[in-house]
Structure 1
Amino acid sequence: MTIHQNIFSDSTAPFALTTGHTAFSQEKEILFSMHTVFRVHRIEKEANNNDLWEVQLTLTDDNDPELTCLTKRMREELCRSTGWHRLGDLMYNIGDFHHGEELYNELLQNSTNDSDRALIYHQLGIFKNAKGQYKEAASFYEQSIQIQRRTIPEYHPSLAATYSNFGQAHTNLGNYQKALEFYEKHQVIVKKALYSNHPDLATAYCNIGKVHMLMGAYFKALEFYEAALEIREKALPSNHPDLANSYNNVGQVYQNIGNYATALHLSDKGHQIYEKTLVVNHPAFGNSYSNIGQVYENMCDYSKALEFYQKALKIREKVLSLNHPDLAISYSDIGHVYSSIGDYSKALELHEKALEIQKKALPWNHLDLANSYTNIGHVYSNIHNYAKALEWYGKGHQIYEQTLPSNHPKLATLYTSIGQVYGNMNTYSKALEFYKKRHSIYENSLPSNHLDFARHYGDIGDAYSKLGDYSEALEAFRKRHEIYEKALPSNHSDFVNSYSHIAEMYENLGFHSDAFDFHEKALEIREKVLTLSFPNLANFCSNIQQACSNTDDYLKVLKALETVPILNHQDLAIYYSSLGQAYANIDDYSKALQFYEKALEIQEEVLPWSHPSLVRSYTNIGHVYSNVRNYLKALEWYEKPHRICEKTLLSDNHLLAVSCSNIGRMYDNVCNYFKARKFYEKALKTLQTGLPPNLPELANCYTQIGQVYSKMGDFPNALTFYEKALETRDNALLSSDPDRAISCSNIGQLYNNNGDYKRALEFYEQAHRIREAALPSNHPDLAISYIDIGQLYNAMGDYTKALQFYYKAHKIRETVLPSNHPDLVTTYSKIGQAYNSEGDYRKALEFYDKAHKIRETALPSNHPDLAISYSDIGEVYTCKGDYTKALEFYEKAHKIRETALPLSLPHLAASYSNIGEVYNSKGDYTNALEFYEKACKIRETALPSNHPDLTTSYSNIGGVYNSKGDYKKALESYEKARKIREMAPSLDARVLANLYSNLGEVYANMNDYSKALQCCAKGQKIYEAAFRSNHPDSAIFYSNIGRVYRNIGDYSKAVAFCGKALDIIKTSLSRNHRNVVAAYSNIAAIYEKMGSYSKALEFREEVIGIRENAVPYNLHDLATDYSSAAAVYKTLGNYAKALSFYEKALNIEETIVPCNRRILSNLYNNISMVSYAMNSYSKAREYYDKHLQYARIRFGEDT
């Protein structure tokens, strides 16, 4: 105890020393008068005795002005008429709402007059409001007002407090207009009855300010809060708690508008009030430090937030018992920070520490225990351990159900969390179940236009949308929008998302004009809301992108956004990130990189090294480099967040798994499949640690590993992991959940690649049945099934069936998607591909051109996807034999790739390869070799030495040298390719097998038939070891061996091997597939060599029958087959038949533009010779002259 004697006079000394005047001389007692007041300077627990506390007191002066003001104010605030009412106030102040309500219910039963009842109804309203029973509170306030209005006018001063509290009830109910009505009545009364600086007028201003803040009208709120602050600064002592409250209110507004510096300054002013009036370790400092910590937490300055939360904890640890509930609050606050920075292990530790205290200090069903249970549930939800999250939410729910009314808002909040967990587990029907429980609470406790209802309808709309029930989703989104229209200002930022969600549902339902109307509404308010919602700017940009009719319009919007002035440093980083995401969405990666790097520069200055925002920025930059196919640079950036995750997160943290997957993907892209598999498996192990075995994200990991095994040619392991993915989804999801269809499609694709078309079709159809059961008949995902099945038939050569399914997919997409949607590009391209394979080049060009027009409209002129269109069109012209046109389009594609993807060398290599292929098909081997070598040089520079694309380049070069007759160089190139493949024997066996086949062809051309047979047989053996023996591609090897035997004159073996090839092809492919035609032609040629012309004719006529029945058929190929059959008839001496087939061939060739003079010259000559043999000399002369005319054009006049 400290006593400064000099501040007292002899006449007013409030104490007396008893030393020398008592019976016990050793005692140092001091007597104080009854009115003596002390400041509490410090409270500390005795080190050796936990039951004793040392209290440091300082005696104050009777004339202390601060003491005078405070005591006066306390008398004013505790002036109830009876002891019962003062007891009620005390119960309210200590938070004993239950007993306080009981007290006033007892007083109500014994009340004898209206005046008492009005007061008691008012007090019951206060307690109901404190318990979260807002409707009941409003009812009591209304009864109080009705009684008072019988005897007093509407604006009588006695009604002021009731109007104010009634306004508060409406505020809590979200009925803000009604709240304003009563707050303004309260304001009118206090303005009339009191002087302009009365503290009650400040309370009125605060109430009105709070409503404006809740409505998002922050500047209006600021106006009222500052008016209240001005009054309190004049009317109250500088250390009055209400003054601190005002500073906090104003600070909260500044915090909401992103002015954190001012918010922090005001929180600090509130803190200074405590410093002037309280001892340094007073418990109130704990609350003050917590408030400042909250500001820093909202600023995402987690290191500072942690500093102040720990200051609060330090004070509480000194002045409170070890099991005091306020200590648990500190641990929870700090736990929230660690959760925000992604250190979930630390967050979990702190929340559990808080829970341990609460279990000792509080009854088992105390609400604080329930809060801790839900906090722990949130942590488990953040690390995607949804089973644990549900377990802890269940514990919290048990307490809430027993201690709270069934319509309490806390229950609604918990149902929201549980619903979101089920949503994250893709169990949307279960999510809807909990959202509907929340709906029941809101119906009973909130007005229909409360903003919580709006968020509720948004969640329901999202769930129905994920389930593909767009009609229900649209209804929910419209209900949300109606609430916004009633409760929010017309330019509120939430309208952007509202309009956009409604537009999206209209698009999915096929109402495109309605969709566009709502997108335009979102666009109209963009300038009004930009400065209010920086964190949501990325979503806003995405919505605006949909609203813009083309990319140029969207770019104009983004350019305008770039000029928006933003003063706050942290907001600037968020803003740059959002713009970066917006540019990434339209594939403008250089701009995206520019803004991501600006954001990162700011974040690295102001954030701790392990902050989640840095993790996101590093990852975003990695995504950019990945999208431009600079995989090594992407890998460098993905490794940065990976290191942060490994050091700061739980071993089973979801972010760590994501970072492993990103790194695995990069190794996958550079074909380093062993490293890719290693990181995918690490991601899998991370998710498996402590997580339920049926987590849907585990299925994604199994899928990634399966895909790597598939690319390595290890189909058994690929199948194993795809089946694990399906099993996981089977256990986690409903039998009709669309995500199960993804796994079925993957397995189908594997069987398709393996040539097992029957099994592939089974799984594709299973995927389709799942989607049919779960989705509306016009859902876009059904189109995916049709495309899968179409691709299967396309691979089998059944182009008619392939087209049937492609058109089904197209019909769905055409109905539900806008005319320029990228998915329409996919279906147009697939249809074009089928027509190209079928030989209907006119139709192929028509559909490829449709795909190209969409890309041209929607994308910038140098977008890489335009290069895909040009390449597709170039391929058609190559197949048509129009090599000039083919080159024109391939060069357009190449020009775009050179401009748009300077970092993506592998793409340029693909362009050079395409151009080389055209020259090779033209027989221009010099140019072909030049472009193939350019592609090879790029790949040698940019890719690892064992990359599969190098195998492709060396094989292409080997093929050119083989065609040129330079067999030594051909062997050299093929051997380079073979060595790469043999270094990685687990990679796709087909490539290695084909290389041996190519080597066999070179050896055959060198007349080294022994080596040729040896290579072909080795290729066949490799192929059949990896695939089923009747795979369609295995027929190639039998055909190659057959050709070698034909070249060495062993025709019986040649027929046997080519016949086996035909048998395999006939069982797997449609009758009109070009490989079937080629097999018949090969056997016919062998029989011709053997002199078995009748047998040869059987196979020739089979070929002609196939060609003639193919609609549309390839004219040039049909003409060639007519000529081949005519030659056999001519050899047999059946000149009439020979002439008939030669003329059929001539009729076709004369219609083909441009004409092939060599073919026409040969046909004229053949018709001339057959006519001569038939003694038709004039006809023979006529056609011989034509032959001679073309020969002279081809070879010169001396011919």
Structure 2
Amino acid sequence: MRDLHQQIQKLRAEISNDQCPRTTYRGQGMLSAEFEKLQINSGGLLSFNNFLSTSTDRQVAFCFAESIKQDKSMIAIFFRIEIDASLSSTPFALLKDTTQFTMEEELLFSMHTIFRIGQMKKIDDQFWEIELRLTNDKDELLAYLTDYLREELGPKIGWLPLGHLLIKIGKFDQAAEICNQLLALTAENNWEWLIAIYNQLGVIHNCKGQFQQALSFYQKSIEILEKDISLYRQQLAAVYGNIGEVYRNMGDSKAFEFYQKALEIQENLLPPNHPHLAVSYNNIALAYKLFGNTSKAHLYYQKTLEVQEKSLPSNHPEVATTDSNLGALYQEIGNFTTALLYYQKALEVKKKTLPPDHPSMAITYDNIGLLYRLMGKYSDALCFSQKALQIHTQSALSNHPDTAIFHINIGETQREMEDYLAALSSYENALNIQRNSLRPNHPDLAATYSSIGVVYECMKKYTDALSSYHQSQEIYKESFPSDHPHMATLYNNIAGIHYAMKDYSTALQFYQKTLKIRKKSAFSNHPGLATAYNNIALVYGALNNKSKELFFYEKALKIQKESLPPRHPDLAVTYSNMGALYREKNDYSKALSLYQNACEIQEESLSANHLCLVTTYSSIAELYFFMADYSMALTFFKKTLLFFKSKGFIYLYPLL
């Protein structure tokens, strides 16, 4: 291969730029899964892992591609490759005289030539034309990224840089194999090599969710580093940061201790805009977010971004990670529009710099899916979360804790769509992974038990729901302070069960606990506060205290109008609840206006046979009947009747 590469370089040097063709073509087949990855990466980079043979004769390549259509398992691809030889030093050779097919002019590119994916044109269902452009040597972003990653790989200690690169692209098992082979060949007194190998093995096990193994390897690094701290201070900071990350992934507040140790060393050794400082700031921000301090998290994310903007290329994967983290934080505080902008920004960067099946791509897809669910866009949510799960299951990461999160988010969307059995199945898939990869009292297990409890509550299996919530509560007590936001969510769920069981005083106590925590940990217009006010209003309604009921509904509505999209389903819930209150007060026109607001939102965001929408139709019908508008009443009663007929029920309207 080296000889062929050198021969191609020699042939390229023998022809001038003017003699080089400006366009060449290639016909080939792709499996559907490979083609889908190519589509996802549109506008990004593509590299072939072999020598690439192309033809300057369009018809030859086109006919070859067309012939592939006979194989129904393949997608036929006709590549049109644009070349500007004056702008690229990529080696290629025009083999006019040396190819065995004398009538075809072959242009052969060397291995790992990089192209940018351009326009994709569908010829038919099994045949596509795709434009590729040879990358430009003066493409500043690509060059900057390449230079930075080359620097980031560190000193050339044998095969370790390759292991680092394999971690970057999500090939953890191959990276571990290289490290273990190097470890077997490394002498006991070769401290520099041992530190690097142990640290890289720790990174690999952390990425795979094998946290105790990761800590064990990091501890081996520290034992060597402490033999001469003055010589290895920077490496010690890196290992401290890595240990902090493991503890954060385990939900353990020890993360702060090690992050601070790393930061103190770095601030003494490094210039203020060094990328390693950005890593430490980001880690501290993640820990603050995990433990519920959103204001501190925002502060450290901003510090991260400030350093990265000065020290990294704008399309570096770590910039995308910070964008994702800021998106998650804005999502946490209820600013969904800004959150989506950050997630989309992260996705665009990753499409340009990472392979389409990289685990980091899966995380961004899942983030967007979760956000769409919170925005009430359930079909979009399911689509993005399933993309994430597909990447992980195809990347040998089916038992990674992140894969459990993807199952959970799919289950949450299925629950919102009232497919409860499917949701329970998704949660069980998540539990199986978490039990095998996490410690028994990990907060992620508690969250999954809570999700299962919500489904049982929706199925009116209240005893099972309370049992799941209590399992969750026991874990949270061991992991978090009593005023952590996760506790607020749990108290809210427990309150909902007591409300459903008509134990209103207990329900009110738990809702007030929820409100107290959310007031302390969230911004003043966080949607979680609106939910708490809404639920407290429901309890006061059940206790027949109408003035307090209305007071809390109005507080909820004010926050939702400030923080949610105008067609968010949560607004419909509040409008419906207020409509019911005004109906009980015999203010039918006010009640009708509120129900109509709810109906408009639900018709846009819910399926036509969603129970909430049908309930709103029924309420509107009854109001029209009370107002003696029998024609409109009949219209909405018929809409309700269609639903019950589709479910095989007989619905009797006593008013008629």
TM over 0.5, shorter chain: yes
- Corresponding position: 1:501 with 2:500: no
> Going by fraction, where is helix more abundant, 1 or 2?
1
Letter in 1 for 2:352: A
- With over 3 angstroms needed to count, the CA separation of the structure-2 counterparts of 1:618 and 1:356, relative to structure 1, is same
Identify the residue that residue 607 of structure 1 maps to in structure 2.
566
* Structure 1 residue 159: Cα displacement: 0.6
Hey, what's the Cα distance between the residues in 2 that align with 1:33 and 1:145?
Answer: 43
Q: Is the 8 A contact 2:285 2:296 kept in 1?
A: yes
Hey, what's the Cα distance between the residues in 2 that align with 1:188 and 1:17?
Answer: 57
**2:532 aligned to which of 531, 539, 550:** 539
Hey, what's the Cα distance between the residues in 1 that align with 2:381 and 2:148?
Answer: 44
After superposition, residues 769-808 of structure 1 pair within 5 angstroms as none
**2:457 aligned to which of 423, 446, 453:** 423
**1:634 aligned to which of 591, 604, 615:** 591
* Structure 1 residue 203: Cα displacement: 1.8
- With over 3 angstroms needed to count, the CA separation of the structure-2 counterparts of 1:153 and 1:124, relative to structure 1, is same
Q: Is the 8 A contact 2:618 2:637 kept in 1?
A: yes
> Going by fraction, where is strand more abundant, 1 or 2?
2
**1:161 aligned to which of 218, 222, 238:** 238
Identify the residue that residue 659 of structure 1 maps to in structure 2.
616
After superposition, residues 206-605 of structure 1 pair within 5 angstroms as 206-249=282-325, 253=329, 274=349, 283-284=351-352, 346=379, 350=383, 377-387=411-421, 389-391=423-425, 393-394=427-428, 396=429, 400=433, 404=437, 407=440, 412-435=446-469, 451=484, 454=487, 458=491, 462=495, 500-501=512-513, 531=524, 533=526, 535-537=528-530, 539=532, 586=547
Hey, what's the Cα distance between the residues in 1 that align with 2:434 and 2:292?
Answer: 33
- With over 3 angstroms needed to count, the CA separation of the structure-2 counterparts of 1:586 and 1:219, relative to structure 1, is same
* 1:1139-1163 Cα deviation digits (max 9, x unpaired): xxxxxxxxxxxxxxxxxxxxxxxxx
TM-score (norm 1): 0.38
- Corresponding position: 1:127 with 2:204: yes
* Structure 1 residue 655: Cα displacement: 0.5
* Structure 1 residue 5: Cα displacement: 4.9
- With over 3 angstroms needed to count, the CA separation of the structure-2 counterparts of 1:420 and 1:24, relative to structure 1, is closer
Letter in 2 for 1:415: Y
- With over 3 angstroms needed to count, the CA separation of the structure-2 counterparts of 1:684 and 1:338, relative to structure 1, is farther
Hey, what's the Cα distance between the residues in 2 that align with 1:242 and 1:460?
Answer: 36
Letter in 2 for 1:607: P
* Structure 1 residue 166: Cα displacement: 1.0
**1:190 aligned to which of 266, 278, 283:** 266
* Structure 1 residue 421: Cα displacement: 1.3
- With over 3 angstroms needed to count, the CA separation of the structure-2 counterparts of 1:534 and 1:688, relative to structure 1, is same
TM-score (norm 2): 0.64
* Structure 1 residue 650: Cα displacement: 3.5
Q: Is the 8 A contact 2:614 2:639 kept in 1?
A: yes
- Corresponding position: 1:69 with 2:137: no
SS across alignment from 1:586 = helix
Hey, what's the Cα distance between the residues in 1 that align with 2:218 and 2:327?
Answer: 31
Q: Is the 8 A contact 1:45 1:52 kept in 2?
A: yes
After superposition, residues 752-901 of structure 1 pair within 5 angstroms as none
Q: Is the 8 A contact 1:592 1:624 kept in 2?
A: no
* Structure 1 residue 43: Cα displacement: 7.5
Tell me how large the CA RMSD over aligned residues is. Answer: 6.0
Hey, what's the Cα distance between the residues in 2 that align with 1:363 and 1:244?
Answer: 24
Identify the residue that residue 201 of structure 1 maps to in structure 2.
277
Hey, what's the Cα distance between the residues in 1 that align with 2:450 and 2:414?
Answer: 15
- With over 3 angstroms needed to count, the CA separation of the structure-2 counterparts of 1:543 and 1:628, relative to structure 1, is closer
Hey, what's the Cα distance between the residues in 1 that align with 2:578 and 2:467?
Answer: 39
Q: Is the 8 A contact 1:653 1:687 kept in 2?
A: no
* Structure 1 residue 186: Cα displacement: 1.3
* Structure 1 residue 430: Cα displacement: 1.3
**Which structure has the greater CA radius of gyration?**
1
SS across alignment from 2:134 = strand
Letter in 2 for 1:531: S
Share of identical aligned residues, percent?
Answer: 29
Q: Is the 8 A contact 2:282 2:300 kept in 1?
A: yes
Hey, what's the Cα distance between the residues in 2 that align with 1:157 and 1:352?
Answer: 39
- With over 3 angstroms needed to count, the CA separation of the structure-2 counterparts of 1:43 and 1:413, relative to structure 1, is farther
Identify the residue that residue 921 of structure 1 maps to in structure 2.
none
* Structure 1 residue 183: Cα displacement: 1.6
Hey, what's the Cα distance between the residues in 2 that align with 1:330 and 1:261?
Answer: 16
* Structure 1 residue 162: Cα displacement: 0.6
Q: Is the 8 A contact 2:334 2:563 kept in 1?
A: no
Letter in 1 for 2:218: Y
* Structure 1 residue 536: Cα displacement: 0.6
- With over 3 angstroms needed to count, the CA separation of the structure-2 counterparts of 1:371 and 1:456, relative to structure 1, is closer
Letter in 2 for 1:420: V
- With over 3 angstroms needed to count, the CA separation of the structure-2 counterparts of 1:45 and 1:209, relative to structure 1, is same
Hey, what's the Cα distance between the residues in 2 that align with 1:267 and 1:646?
Answer: 27
What is the aligned residue count? 569
* Structure 1 residue 541: Cα displacement: 8.9
**1:56 aligned to which of 110, 124, 132:** 132
* 1:560-580 Cα deviation digits (max 9, x unpaired): xxxxxxxxxxxxxxxxxxxxx
Hey, what's the Cα distance between the residues in 2 that align with 1:372 and 1:203?
Answer: 25
Q: Is the 8 A contact 1:17 1:29 kept in 2?
A: yes
- With over 3 angstroms needed to count, the CA separation of the structure-2 counterparts of 1:70 and 1:638, relative to structure 1, is closer
Q: Is the 8 A contact 2:534 2:574 kept in 1?
A: no
After superposition, residues 681-692 of structure 1 pair within 5 angstroms as 686=643
Q: Is the 8 A contact 1:209 1:220 kept in 2?
A: yes
Identify the residue that residue 153 of structure 2 maps to in structure 1.
78
**1:623 aligned to which of 576, 580, 594:** 580
Q: Is the 8 A contact 2:343 2:367 kept in 1?
A: no
* Structure 1 residue 199: Cα displacement: 1.8
Select the structure with the greater relative contact order (CA < 8 A; seq sep ≥ 6). 2
After superposition, residues 1023-1038 of structure 1 pair within 5 angstroms as none
* 1:393-433 Cα deviation digits (max 9, x unpaired): 45x35863797568476655443322211123343321244
Hey, what's the Cα distance between the residues in 2 that align with 1:230 and 1:398?
Answer: 38
Letter in 1 for 2:513: H
- With over 3 angstroms needed to count, the CA separation of the structure-2 counterparts of 1:410 and 1:585, relative to structure 1, is same
Q: Is the 8 A contact 2:530 2:555 kept in 1?
A: no
Q: Is the 8 A contact 1:212 1:221 kept in 2?
A: yes
Q: Is the 8 A contact 1:70 1:237 kept in 2?
A: yes
Q: Structure 2 unaligned runs (5+)?
A: 1-80
Q: Structure 1 unaligned runs (5+)?
A: 275-281, 288-315, 478-495, 503-518, 552-583, 694-700, 713-983, 985-1199
Hey, what's the Cα distance between the residues in 2 that align with 1:342 and 1:151?
Answer: 56
SS across alignment from 1:531 = coil
Identify the residue that residue 175 of structure 1 maps to in structure 2.
252
Hey, what's the Cα distance between the residues in 1 that align with 2:490 and 2:596?
Answer: 40
**1:40 aligned to which of 93, 116, 120:** 116
